Chains A and B, each alone.
Chain A
């Protein structure tokens, strides 16, 4: 039993973790960067003017000296992990001409509840902008060269994450759809997921991603990723997570075809316009990767995001029964759904969710690293529900 000061990690320890848990190169880079910066200051409130200055510096570089003006900067809420500032850009938009475009800066805090990459997010959205509805993405500052921290500039997309008459909980859970919306959105929801999974993982724009070999490499990268995150961030040990890691490693599924996976594909993470029941933007690509389609299928069909029909039937993301969802998916993709692999990924998803919420949530709040530590702390509670779901799922598999 080793006692480490995780708030000030030593270079030797960082090096040993990198060797112990082989993962995708870019994920390794992000986690290493996180650990190297951990001993630095926490997040202090930034004035909007600092962000406006950063945006202007980024645009001066990206627009090659063309005339532009940033105005109407204001804070936006939403999401548990990134800071968001809305603003208006007056500029000569290529192919459009002079325009006042409403934009959103999405920037990391000093240390986020999840260490993801603005470059990967940028590349994924660019890869899909002509195939599925995504919010327009304009510029990226992947290493915080112009802004205080790594950032991305998005355009606005039309629509809402929920119907006007529906409430919702934190992070878009608990949304209720009418029977009519369920049918109309459900079809598009499956079709867009199919398009994402059928996209060529060798797409040349995706330079920040590694493509796993067919076999167990993809699943092993995943377990190593979250084992490493738990080692780096976790406070109070959770022996059950070690049992889960053992189980996942003993039962690694074989990847048949690498797919681009979204990793957070669910109700609450897409916008739609209610009047014509059309999905207008699929959001939150930050955890996207190239891996096993079953990871998305397991996530999307999680009870956490499900709704219930009037007769008590569980509906995938409040839209359709699970069997129907899988049938439609198989028909749309031509891929098969392996229930055993879905089950493995259900355990895996709860494994990483619990590691992130309880481990990283604790670490970043303890060190005052985000702009909303109080939300990060509040969300730690979900981790215990995820742990218990994971425990039940492991029991079911024995």
Chain B
């Protein structure tokens, strides 16, 4: 899916900066201020999104370190001991999450891009073979894969309103493979 947040945010900032803000009535201070704030917020999102995963993983790692220090310093009072026990349980779960969180979403997208490109190269190369049956098989395989993927692409974009029969497209939530259970 090429229509991603990165390019959406960039184009929204340009529209607001180049077209909308200069057209806002300068007398309406509230409108001017809020337009500037929206531009600022979108710019912040553009900065945050690519590193959000890394940021969160970094925080989790340091929180685990902090929890380990707290767990090492025990006391006998029941209230405090109970709280520490809760912390130990969440520390264990958090450690497992950190162990599983090794792939940055950007790496996932990069892997998708590379596989799409390599698949395209196969499709582009197959007419050069002397086996028409192979051409048919390769193209059918790619067509089948495209059918499933395009259904998800279209479902994700349903709010845009392009579909002639939107009811014929299942919701994106029902189409996506479930994520592995959280620890």
Residue from A239, A358, A381 within 8 A of B160 (CB atoms) = A381
The answer to the question of A1 belonging to the interface, with a C-beta cut-off of 8 Å to chain B, is: yes
The answer to the question of A362 belonging to the interface, with a C-beta cut-off of 8 Å to chain B, is: yes
Roughly how many angstroms separate A372 CA and B119 CA in the complex, as a whole number? 33
Docked-complex contact A362 and B2, CB < 8 angstroms? yes
* Distance in Å: Cβ of A244 to nearest Cβ of chain B: 10
* Distance in Å: Cβ of B49 to nearest Cβ of chain A: 15
Interface hit among B59-67, B78-86, B94-102, B135-143: B135-143
The answer to the question of B44 belonging to the interface, with a C-beta cut-off of 8 Å to chain A, is: no
**Given contact pairs A236-B113, A239-B116, A377 touches B146 in the complex (Cβ within 8 A):** no
Docked-complex contact B123 and A246, CB < 8 angstroms? yes
For A235, the chain B residues whose CB sits under 8 A away are 2
The answer to the question of B70 belonging to the interface, with a C-beta cut-off of 8 Å to chain A, is: no
Docked-complex contact B157 and A376, CB < 8 angstroms? no
Docked-complex contact A247 and B139, CB < 8 angstroms? yes
The answer to the question of A63 belonging to the interface, with a C-beta cut-off of 8 Å to chain B, is: no
Docked-complex contact B18 and A45, CB < 8 angstroms? yes
* Distance in Å: Cβ of A176 to nearest Cβ of chain B: 14
**Given contact pairs A243-B142, A380-B3, A169 touches B150 in the complex (Cβ within 8 A):** no
For A169, the chain B residues whose CB sits under 8 A away are 161
Docked-complex contact A378 and B127, CB < 8 angstroms? no
**Given contact pairs A237-B113, A238-B116, A384 touches B154 in the complex (Cβ within 8 A):** yes
Residue from A303, A304, A385, A391 within 8 A of B143 (CB atoms) = A391
The answer to the question of A181 belonging to the interface, with a C-beta cut-off of 8 Å to chain B, is: no
Q: Which of A45, A239, A372 has the most CB of B within 10 A?
A: A239
The answer to the question of A33 belonging to the interface, with a C-beta cut-off of 8 Å to chain B, is: no
For B10, the chain A residues whose CB sits under 8 A away are 365-366, 368, 373
Q: Restricting to A240-271, which residues have a CB under 8 Å from any CB of B?
A: 240-243, 245-247, 249-250
Q: Restricting to A300-326, which residues have a CB under 8 Å from any CB of B?
A: 303-304
Between A and B, how many residue pairs show CB distances below 8 Å? 112
Roughly how many angstroms separate A331 CA and B161 CA in the complex, as a whole number? 37
Q: Restricting to A361-398, which residues have a CB under 8 Å from any CB of B?
A: 362, 365-366, 368, 371-374, 376-378, 380-382, 384-385, 387-388, 391, 394-395
* Distance in Å: Cβ of B122 to nearest Cβ of chain A: 8
For A242, the chain B residues whose CB sits under 8 A away are 120, 123-124, 142
Q: Mark B4-37, 1 if CB is under 8 A from A, else 0.
A: 0001101110110011001000000000000000
Roughly how many angstroms separate A380 CA and B162 CA in the complex, as a whole number? 11
**Given contact pairs A237-B116, A239-B142, A303-B164, A372 touches B15 in the complex (Cβ within 8 A):** yes
Residue from B11, B22, B163 within 8 A of A45 (CB atoms) = B22
- Which bucket holds chain B's interface residue count? 35 or more
For A377, the chain B residues whose CB sits under 8 A away are 3, 7-8, 11
The answer to the question of B126 belonging to the interface, with a C-beta cut-off of 8 Å to chain A, is: yes
Docked-complex contact B119 and A374, CB < 8 angstroms? no
**Given contact pairs A247-B139, A384-B154, A237 touches B11 in the complex (Cβ within 8 A):** no
Docked-complex contact A373 and B2, CB < 8 angstroms? no
Roughly how many angstroms separate A247 CA and B10 CA in the complex, as a whole number? 36
The answer to the question of B74 belonging to the interface, with a C-beta cut-off of 8 Å to chain A, is: no
For A362, the chain B residues whose CB sits under 8 A away are 2, 7
For A384, the chain B residues whose CB sits under 8 A away are 150, 153-154, 157, 162
* Distance in Å: Cβ of B178 to nearest Cβ of chain A: 23
For A365, the chain B residues whose CB sits under 8 A away are 7, 10-11
Roughly how many angstroms separate A374 CA and B127 CA in the complex, as a whole number? 38
For A372, the chain B residues whose CB sits under 8 A away are 15, 19
For B122, the chain A residues whose CB sits under 8 A away are 239
Nearest opposing residue in chain A for B22, CB measure: A45
For B113, the chain A residues whose CB sits under 8 A away are 236-237
Roughly how many angstroms separate A372 CA and B145 CA in the complex, as a whole number? 34
**Given contact pairs A237-B113, A388-B150, A388-B154, A373 touches B160 in the complex (Cβ within 8 A):** no
Q: Which of A169, A371, A381, A387 has the most CB of B within 10 A?
A: A381
For A388, the chain B residues whose CB sits under 8 A away are 147, 150-151, 154
The answer to the question of B117 belonging to the interface, with a C-beta cut-off of 8 Å to chain A, is: yes
Docked-complex contact B142 and A240, CB < 8 angstroms? yes
Between A and B, 14 residue pairs with Cβ closer than 8 Å are A1-B118, A236-B1, A236-B113, A238-B116, A239-B120, A239-B146, A245-B124, A246-B135, A365-B10, A368-B10, A373-B10, A374-B14, A376-B11, A385-B162
Given contacts A374-B11, A384-B157, 18 further A-B contacts (CB under 8 A): A236-B2, A236-B116, A238-B120, A239-B142, A239-B145, A239-B146, A242-B123, A243-B139, A246-B124, A304-B164, A362-B7, A368-B14, A384-B150, A384-B154, A385-B162, A385-B163, A388-B147, A391-B146
Chain B interface (Cβ within 8 Å of chain A)? 1-3, 7-8, 10-12, 14-15, 18-19, 22, 112-114, 116-124, 126-127, 135, 139, 142-143, 145-147, 150-151, 153-154, 157, 160-164
6 A-B pairs closest in CB distance: A242-B123, A374-B15, A373-B11, A237-B116, A240-B146, A377-B11
